[in-house]
Every structure is written in structure tokens, then in C-alpha cells.
A = this chain, B = another copy of it.
Amino acid sequence: MYELIRTEHAARRGRFKTVHGTVETPAFMNVATAAAIKGGLSAFDLKEIKCQVMLCNTYHLHLRPGDELVRDMGGLHRFTRWDGPILTDSGGFQVFSLASLRKIREEGVTFNSHIDGRKIFMGPEESMRIQANLGSTIAMAFDECIKNPAEHGYAKDSCARTVRWLKRCKDEMARLKREGLAVNPDQLLFGINQGCCFDDLRVEQMKEIAELDLDGYSIGGLAVGEPTEEMYRVITVVEPHMPKDKIRYLMGVGTPGNILESIARGVDLFDCVMPARNARHGHFNTWGGIINIRNAKYERDESPIDPQCDCPVCRNFSRSYIRHLFKADEILGLRLGVMHNLYFYNTLLERCRDALDAGNFEGFREKYSKILDSRI
């Protein structure tokens, strides 16, 4: 459970205890969509790059290899060999972003698989059953991630339905645990705040779900195309209504700068595909900004990706070598790049925690918020 250790303005330094280990917050979760980190990283590699929480995608795993197979193999921990906390999303976001021919009803959503087109139904109960089979540490409630921009009327109805779905998620998880059907009998449930960029809907919905006394609360439906300032405004508007004694997770965010600004606004937990995706394109995070390793100036550069970084990649390999790997389409380039970028993110969050411990997070944020997102 979440313990608030200290604050600096809205920023929070905390600790989140789970049956799979304690998460020091603020923290960044490393995305392993189909039970594997892109770029060829295994669960053991995650240990080397300071990962605290692995995130897997319910939608992808339901389609392939199937959550019942994962259950039969003992759940995600045994399947992937990652023994730390695992968060599974609800599938909602992918149903609304990847699948085609969606039909939303009160019961749930019918959609076609993006892999083979077959028709699938997923509602709150199905999402909970799948996540119970996956055996994650933290399950996310099934929600509708509304497109941005949206009509106020549609968003309002959708929010109300997401709250009803959340209650059904809570009930179904309780039943699954009661009947011994959850691979992890201590599985936690996080609710999700929605409401597009409408402050009134965001606040109203947050108040409603706060009353359900869940294990944590997320802000969803952001970083989906709205201006960054809108995102910060929504966080600032919602935050006062989020329970102080519960962990807070901003879904799918973001750049290092986004993360610093969101911590300053009271967020504890993050996830994003960006560091791994950027790495695969040769864009590497450094403490001086983002470099593109394909740039000709690195052709004979013997220095590491980031001279200030002590990750396994920077301790050993030169920009020149990694650039060559990218130019020659060698998979090793992807792997080294992803390792570096994830290590950078995990270290960034570690340094945020250190700054919060030392009471100088504001100075840290001011120094790095802009520079880390700049391309150099």
C-alpha cells in the first residue's frame, strides 16, 4: 500500500508496497507489451537497468498467446521470469486505438482483432478475468478512452459509463479472488479518471471514483494529441480531488520534461513507450538533451552515448560503434539503444526521488525540465 514520505509543494516522495516488492515513487514503469520489452530485453536485463515495475498489455496478451495459456504457465511472473511488480492495463486503450469495427454498449465493447480480424467482446468482467489469469500485481479498470477532441455530451455519458464499469470491475475482481480464480490473490485494482479536457467532467468523475476506495488512481485519456499545457492544466485541476493516501498514475506519459512537470503536479507513477520507440529510431536521451545517433558527427566519436551516464551501454560502447550498428541494421543497435534509454528514464526518476529526499526537487525540475526534451 502507498505511504507518503514527504512532499515539496504538490510533488510527492512515496513508497508503494506490493506482494511482489516495494516501488519507490515517483517511478517509471517499463513497457513489455507482449510480455517482452522491445529491443530484445529480458526480465533479467530489466534488473540491470533499474526497472522497478514492468507493464504488460492485456489486449495484446489476450490475443496472443492468450491469457489462459499464461495462467496455465503460472501467470506473467513465472512466464517472463520478472519477479518484481507487474501492472497490466485493462485493454481499454488498445480496444479504442488498435482494434477496428468497435461497438460500444453498456455491457462492453465488441471489436475485431488487429491480428486476425476475429470478433472479440470485452467488458469490465472480461478485462478482470483476463488480468486475473495474467496474475499481475496491479490490474487496471476497464474504461473508455475517449477520442480528443470530443463533444461534451458524449464525454459526459462516457464518463458515467466508465464509473459504472469501474464498479463492475471491483465486484468482478472480488468474486474472482473469493472463488480462487485469480493467479495473484493479492491483485490490486486502480481506477481511471477520464473526461477529456473538460475540467467539470474530470473533477466530477474523480470525486465519484475516489469514493470507491481503490488501491490507486490513474489519470487516463491524456497525451492523446491535446496541447501539453492542456494536459498540465487537467492534472492540476484533478489532483486536489485525488486521495492523498493513494498512489497516482498518469497513463502513457511521456517525455522527461512531461514527467518532471507532472511530478511537480502530484503524480507518482508513469509509463510510456517513448523511450524504447525513440531508441529504436536512434534517438537517445542524454542529460544534455536528445541525440540522433545516425548523425554523421558521431561517425568517429569514441565517447559513450552520454558521458554522464553509467548504464551498461555507456560503460562499454562508443557512439561510433552504436552508429555503425544502426547503419548496418544490426539488432544489437536496437538492444543497446533501448537499454540506454530505459536506464535513462529509470535513473531520471531515481534522481527525482533523491531531489525530493533532499528537498530540492524544484531546483532539479527547473534545471532539467526543458533541456532534457531538447534535440541537440
- Residues 30 to 87 of chain A near chain B (Cβ within 8 Å): 34-42, 44, 60, 64-65, 69, 72-74, 79-81
Given contacts A79-B320, A302-B73, contact A330 B34 (CB under 8 A): yes
Nearest chain B CB to A311's CB is how many angstroms away? 13
Q: Which of A228-236, A281-289, A332-340, A358-366 contacts B (4 or more CB under 8 A)?
A: A332-340
Residues of B contacting A41 in the complex (Cβ-Cβ under 8 angstroms) = 332
With a CB–CB cut-off of 8 A, which chain B residues contact A317? 42, 81
A341 interface hit (Cβ, 8 Å)? no
Enumerate A1-54 residues with CB–CB distance to B below 8 Å: 34-42, 44
Contact of A331 with B299 in the complex, beta carbons under 8 Å? no
Are B320 and A73 interface neighbours, CB within 8 A?
yes
By the criterion of a CB under 8 Å from any partner CB, how many residues of chain A are at the interface?
40
Quick check: B73 and A35 within 8 Å, CB to CB?
Answer: no
Docked pose: A283 CA to B73 CA in angstroms: 22
By a CB distance below 8 angstroms, the chain B residues around A335 are: 40, 42, 331, 335
Q: In the complex, what distance in Å separates the CA atom of A323 from the CA atom of B37?
A: 16
Flag if A332 contacts B42 (CB, 8 Å).
yes
Q: CB distance A37 to B332 under 8 Å?
A: yes
Chain B residue contacts of A332, Cβ below 8 A: 36-37, 40-42
**A376 on the interface (CB 8 Å rule)?**
no
- CB nearest to A317 among chain B residues: B81
* Residues of B with C-beta under 8 A to A334: 40, 331
- Inter-chain contacts of A164 with B (CB < 8 A): none
User: How does the 8 Å CB contact mask read for A286-321 relative to B, with 1 for contact and 0 for none?
Assistant: 000000000000011010000000000000111011
- Given A42-B332, A317-B81, A324-B64, do A69 and B299 touch, yes or no (CB 8 Å)? yes
Given A40-B40, A81-B316, A320-B79, A73 contacting B328 (CB threshold 8 A): no
A300 and B36 contact, CB distance less than 8 A:
no
From known contacts A41-B332, A72-B300, infer whether A35 and B324 are also in contact, taking CB-CB under 8 Å: yes
B324 and A38 form a contact (CB under 8 A): no
Is A73 within 8 A of B40, CB to CB? Answer: no
A320 near B34: Cβ-Cβ < 8 Å: no
B69 to A318, Cβ gap below 8 A? no
A65 CB contacts on chain B under 8 angstroms: 299, 320, 323-324, 327-328
Known contacts A41-B332, A331-B331, A334-B331, A318 near B79 by CB under 8 Å: yes
Asked whether any CB of chain B lies closer than 8 Å to the CB of A273, the reply is no
Contacts of A36 in B (CB 8 A): 325, 328, 330-333
Contact A327 B64 (CB under 8 A): yes
| A69–B320 CB distance below 8 A | yes
Cα distance A245–B330 in the bound complex, in angstroms: 38
A323: which B residues are within 8 A, CB to CB? 65
- Chain A 171-196 per-residue mask, 1 if CB under 8 angstroms from chain B, else 0: 00000000000000000000000000
Q: Which of B73, B316, B330 contacts A318 (CB 8 A)?
A: B73
Complex Cα distance, B60 from A325, in Å, reads 12
Over the window 201-220 of chain A, the binary record of Cβ atoms lying under 8 Å from chain B Cβ atoms (1 yes, 0 no) is 00000000000000000000
A325-355 vs B: 1/0 string, CB under 8 Å? 1011011111110000000000000000000
Complex alpha-carbon distance, A78 and B4, angstroms: 48
A72-B300, A79-B324 provided; 12 other pairs, C-beta below 8 A?
A34-B324, A39-B40, A40-B334, A42-B332, A64-B324, A64-B328, A65-B328, A69-B300, A73-B318, A73-B320, A73-B321, A331-B334
